[in-house]
Structure 1
Amino acid sequence: MPVTPPSVTAAPLPSLVAQAERLIDLGVHELAGIPADRLRAFATDAGRGSGDALLAVHPERVPASALAPLLRRDGKPGFVVTDMPDVDRFDPCAVELPDTPLYLVTGPDRGDHMANWSPEEALPALTQQDRTPLLLTEGIHWVLQQPAILERNRCFMTIGSRLRKANGALDARTPAIWISNGTGRDGRERRNAPKVGWCWWGNRHTWLGFASATGRGHGPATGPC
């Protein structure tokens, strides 16, 4: 498939100081065991010349299952689909993460230009563009800071997170964040709620892009995938 440049899909992120206050208001610092003052200090120090960056908490500190219920849309909390009870086992794959509780994700993009691509097609294209796919937790952090980034027919996958099975093979499910239609096991009461779910590695969806970034803070590689 042709490679096209990343799309501009959102207004600039709030300042890192404002992002820190948002996480504190949501209680993310308590879930992570990070004092509020330490989170504020990190945001203040990192905010000098950081540009358009997302403040993220390392997934080992706060997993996706703890972050998803903090999402809100139309007053409804986010949720993880019932057939993804192993959501927190989706680890960084071929992604370098800083070995620190807090880090920055630079230049996040929703990847609208890759709508109707499969994850299998999107990953090498992102690599060719020198971009790195977002982790599921990073995608949730993004929506927490900018709820408007999640739109109907403009949602996104986070293929930087993958599940490795006991035999060493990668699970064919790939995580995504979208908006529930309130059908099936979601329940009608969850219509319009933010939803963490999954799609198959080889399938295409017209309403899902591929969220990516220009980089993260420096850290050791998480290992080959």
Structure 2
Amino acid sequence: MTHAPEATEARPEPETTRGAPMAQPTAFEAGAEFDRQVRTLTELGYPATAGLAPERFGAAVEPLRAVAVASGNTRCEPGTGRVPFVLVVTRNLAPIGETMPRTTLHGGRLPGFVDRTYEPGALERFVATEETGLAGQDAYLLLDVERGEEFCGAVPHDAMEAIAGRGRTLLTIEEGIALITHFPQVLVKNKCFSLGGSRAGDRRVPALWISQKAPKLGWCWEGNPHTWLGMASAGARRTA
């Protein structure tokens, strides 16, 4: 039977500083944006989760700042589902079960959660595909990120093939969580997205959508389309 996710959305609340820049396109300086993302992770407790003091956590990801700066100053449009780069910390340092509850909707307060249809041990089996080239990585930058709403209504398997044909890469679970952690504006009603870069050797494709006024990590069958569920992708990954 098809797993049918819900498509509800939290009522917008006043803007907060978390997730800035806001929904309108804004120019930003890449180094300052990188620093903001490090602060976001630090404030959310990622250093403690990784077993590091905040200073050591900052030092560990600092080499990636040069990669961010090299990407250039550009426009950031999270409201349109596109951002230039995202700082990703993988499950090697911060388990999914601990990072997903640290997400919220833009302007929301309720913590994100993992859908109960992930049976015990399932998250551990949903790993980065070989195509991502992510074996052993702890932290890196994801560049030229799109939530992929053009694929809303498309069969996920077909969407994944189309993205591969463009030379782009599918987002993993950790990358999807990182995207909505740094830019919660990206996850909105009818423009949610699948994360085809993490698979468990079956027909399930992880996805992020909105349920109970909070972000939810669920999954859908690779052959079943949903009108409100696209396919997220990126241009590249860069390590220090």
Mapped to 2, the partners of 1:92 and 1:39 lie a distance apart of 23
- Does the 8 Å CA contact 1:29/1:39 hold for their aligned counterparts? yes
- Does the 8 Å CA contact 1:71/1:144 hold for their aligned counterparts? yes
- Does the 8 Å CA contact 1:65/1:88 hold for their aligned counterparts? no
Question: Identity, % of aligned pairs?
Answer: 34
The structure 2 residue matched to 1:64, chosen from 96, 114, 138, is: 96
Q: In the TM superposition, what are the counterparts of 1:1-225 in structure 2 within 5 Å?
A: 11=25, 15-41=33-59, 42-43=61-62, 44-51=65-72, 52-73=84-105, 74-85=108-119, 86-93=122-129, 94-97=131-134, 99-163=136-200, 170-180=201-211, 191-217=212-238
TM-score normalised by structure 2 residue count: 0.75
Give the deviation of 1:102 after TM superposition.
1.4
Q: 1:139 to 1:11 in 2, by over 3 A?
A: farther
Mapped to 2, the partners of 1:57 and 1:115 lie a distance apart of 27
TM-score normalised by structure 1 residue count: 0.79
Give the aligned length: 195
Mapped to 1, the partners of 2:152 and 2:127 lie a distance apart of 24
Runs of 4+ in 1 over 3 A off after TM superposition: 9-14, 43-47
Structure 1 gaps of 5+ residues are 1-8, 164-169, 181-190, 220-225
Mapped to 1, the partners of 2:113 and 2:96 lie a distance apart of 10
User: RMSD between aligned alpha carbons?
Assistant: 2.2
Mapped to 2, the partners of 1:75 and 1:201 lie a distance apart of 31
**Per-residue CA shift, 1:15-69, capped at 9, x if unaligned?**
1111000000000122123442244343444432134211001222223221111
**Per-residue CA shift, 1:78-100, capped at 9, x if unaligned?**
11111113223200012112644
- Does the 8 Å CA contact 2:92/2:137 hold for their aligned counterparts? no
